[in-house]
A = this chain, B = another copy of it.
Amino acid sequence: MAIDYSVYLVTDRGILDGRDLLKAVEAALIGGTSLIQLREKDISSRDFYDLAVKMKDLVNAHNVPLIINDRLDIALAVDADGLHIGQDDIPLGIARAIMGPDKIIGYSVSNLEQAQYGEENGADYLGAGPVYATGSKADAGMPIGPHNLKTIKDSVSIPVVAIGGVGMANINEVKQAGVDGISVISAILGRQDITEAAKTITAIWKAK
């Protein structure tokens, strides 16, 4: 399965206002979302597993890879396409050793040292940010801004996805940094018409 990082959706049931997560993700996939990361906190392992099984079927049916956030056990249990880990998760090198060479592993970074570490320890791509202030992730830390995003992108040879506060208003600024894609939550899932939002964001990203 080819990996297209262009419009990378991270899930967050908290902003769905009661709407069904699977239906919301399906709407985003119809709109052109190219990669899905299932991110769940405060959920039992069994509930996470059950949801991930359904999510994998849905996402793969659209020829899109499914990445699991943080929980390597869930990624293995549902044979997900990859795992995304951050600084508060299990060490990258250990995740790579357990997942094997073929699964996608993403790594969240917010500075050059972390980016270097990620590239040297087996990450397939980096999620760099938060680029802008964001309400979607309480523990996201201080925004790094588009200039530092570019510095990170220029320092590594693996793909870099911009994350944190990225939406319609700043996609073009983010593109200037030369990154391989944008990771969004609320810019798609926070909209009433999710398919339309995904289409618009994909179109802006792909415009020359």
Contacts and interface: CB of A to CB of B under 8 A. Distances in A.
A91 B46 CA distance: 7
Interface stretch (A28-36, A73-81, A114-122, A172-180): A73-81
Given A72-B77, A73-B72, A77-B72, A45 B89 contact: yes
Contact of A45 (B70, B76, B77): B70
A46 B73 CA distance: 14
A45 B89 CA distance: 5
Interface residues of A, number: 21
Interface in A77-104: 77, 85, 87-91, 94-95, 98
A80 to B, nearest CB: 12
A77 to B, nearest CB: 5
A89 B45 CA distance: 5
Contact of A76 (B46, B49, B70, B72): B72
A91 B73 CA distance: 11
A37 B71 CA distance: 20
B88 A76 contact: no
A67 to B, nearest CB: 15
Closest 10 CB pairs of A and B: A73-B73, A72-B73, A44-B88, A45-B89, A46-B88, A49-B90, A77-B90, A77-B94, A45-B90, A76-B98
18 contacts: A44-B88, A44-B89, A45-B70, A45-B85, A46-B89, A46-B91, A47-B88, A71-B73, A72-B73, A72-B76, A73-B73, A73-B76, A73-B98, A76-B98, A77-B90, A77-B91, A77-B94, A77-B98
